[in-house]
Structure 1
Amino acid sequence: MIAVFVNCGAVIAGSVIGLFFARRITEEMSSHIQTAAGIVTVILGIQMAMQYHNIVYMTLSLIAGGIIGCLCDIDGKILKLGNFLQRLCFHGKEKTSSEDDGNSRNFAYAFLNASVLFCVGAMSIVGSFKAGVEKDYSIIFTK
């Protein structure tokens, strides 16, 4: 249960820090941070994949999950929800047309990325299972 609170607290703290420092982080620095996080995720994924005796189940699960996600258009629906939330949150704000298009797109894609990362990402799902079943909080804390 503690993993849930730590995860929520980390998401909220990271969001606040991101909002506070967003203007100070350059594209190059953002790229380095994302690359480092990606490398850690790949290493964790490879390490966990090597623990399984039958890799076929994992492969079939990944393929089936990709096909089902594509057929259900999950990312498209999350993007539509992000557009709806953007209209809801910034309804009364006056902007020029070009500004509005860029900000609307950025908000919706940021919502999509945050949803995938924090809600349905592999580390979220596997980490939650391991925390609940095995009392191993290492993955969820790493996320």
Structure 2
Amino acid sequence: MLGTYVNAGVILLGSIIGILVKNGLKDRYKWIVMHGVGLSVMFIGIATTLNGMMNGGEPILFIISLVLGGIFGEWVNIEKRLEQLGLFLQSKVGNGEHNIAQGFVTASLLFCVGTMAILGSLESGLRGNHDMLYAKSVLDGVTSIILTSSLGIGVIFSSVSVLLYQGAIVIFASRLEPVLTGEVIREISIIGGILIFSLGLSLLEIKKVKTANLLPAILIPPIYFMLILPLIEMLFA
């Protein structure tokens, strides 16, 4: 768990620095920083998706995943529950923060959805090699400073998301390794890229997307490759 602890700790530290930076910025500078973050998030989402597609991604699978995942997420109403969590944290933290949920969701997706989070955690859990998570920590630390300076204190709570998400992969690495194959990680990254792009749309106020309600989509690729694809191959063998 050392790599995960370092990763979460660096995000925590970066967020604290970001809060200090934010307090020293005038409103017009905060807006331009927000626009820069929004554009960067959209670019990261596009690049992540295209990279997965160019490496053999299946377009039909991510479409089906987003549709099915979106239906389930809307039924559970994940977005509303996260907003309620944000309001609860806001009541405890105060300081005039009004976008805690947005900062929390945006940062959590950026830090958790990606190949480095999954592969780094598997390496950490299976072989005790934390190098990839250390490298990810540096990237996440810098990103947390920038995100917090524009989105506020909600970003700091994403350190908990990283701790729980990556920690779970580390702890159950031996059982997850057969499930999280290269194909599964590729498809999860494609879907994650699309979700990150939708966050950019919201940050730039182009279109409000209930991104959190689409989160269950990342669970569809493992189900497809583990259960559905073998069944199809058996039926048509």
TM over 0.5: yes
Asked if residue 58 in structure 1 is aligned to residue 47 in structure 2, the reply is: no
Residue ranges of structure 2 left out of the alignment (5+ in a row): 125-130, 141-237
1:47 and 1:61 map into 2 onto residues whose CA distance is 18
2:88 partner letter: F
1:134 CA displacement: 6.3
2:111 and 2:67 map into 1 onto residues whose CA distance is 18
1:60 and 1:131 map into 2 onto residues whose CA distance is 28
Q: Note closer, same or farther for the CA distance 1:134–1:52 as it changes in structure 2 (3 Å cut).
A: farther
1:17 CA displacement: 1.7
2:60 and 2:2 map into 1 onto residues whose CA distance is 33
1:72 CA displacement: 0.9
Asked if residue 132 in structure 1 is aligned to residue 113 in structure 2, the reply is: no
2:65 and 2:111 map into 1 onto residues whose CA distance is 15
1:3 CA displacement: 4.6
Q: Note closer, same or farther for the CA distance 1:49–1:133 as it changes in structure 2 (3 Å cut).
A: farther
**2:74 maps to which of 54, 61, 70:** 70
Judge conservation of contact 2:4–2:121 (CA < 8 Å) in 1.
Answer: no
**Equivalent residue for 2:165?**
none
**Equivalent residue for 1:8?**
8
2:47 and 2:3 map into 1 onto residues whose CA distance is 22
Asked if residue 116 in structure 1 is aligned to residue 105 in structure 2, the reply is: yes
Judge conservation of contact 1:11–1:118 (CA < 8 Å) in 2.
Answer: no
Task: Work out the percentage of aligned pairs sharing the same amino acid.
Answer: 19
2:21 and 2:71 map into 1 onto residues whose CA distance is 38
Residue ranges of structure 1 left out of the alignment (5+ in a row): 94-102
1:131 and 1:89 map into 2 onto residues whose CA distance is 32
Asked if residue 28 in structure 1 is aligned to residue 43 in structure 2, the reply is: no
1:68 CA displacement: 1.5
1:122 and 1:52 map into 2 onto residues whose CA distance is 23
1:77 and 1:53 map into 2 onto residues whose CA distance is 32
1:75 CA displacement: 1.1
Q: Give the secondary-structure state (helix, strand or coil) at the position aligned to 2:13.
A: helix
TM-score, reference length from structure 1 = 0.67
Task: Give per-residue Cα distances to partners, 1:50-101, cap 9 Å, x unaligned.
Answer: 22343222221122222221111111111111212222344xx9xxxxxxxx
* Superposition CA RMSD, Å: 3.0
**Equivalent residue for 2:44?**
40
1:16 partner letter: I
1:48 and 1:3 map into 2 onto residues whose CA distance is 25
1:62 partner letter: L
Q: Could you say which structure has the greater relative contact order, defined with CA pairs below 8 angstroms and 6 or more residues apart?
A: 2
Q: After TM superposition, where is structure 1 displaced by more than 6 Å over at least 4 residues in a row? A: none
1:40 and 1:113 map into 2 onto residues whose CA distance is 18
TM-score, reference length from structure 2 = 0.44
Judge conservation of contact 2:120–2:132 (CA < 8 Å) in 1.
Answer: yes
1:67 and 1:117 map into 2 onto residues whose CA distance is 21
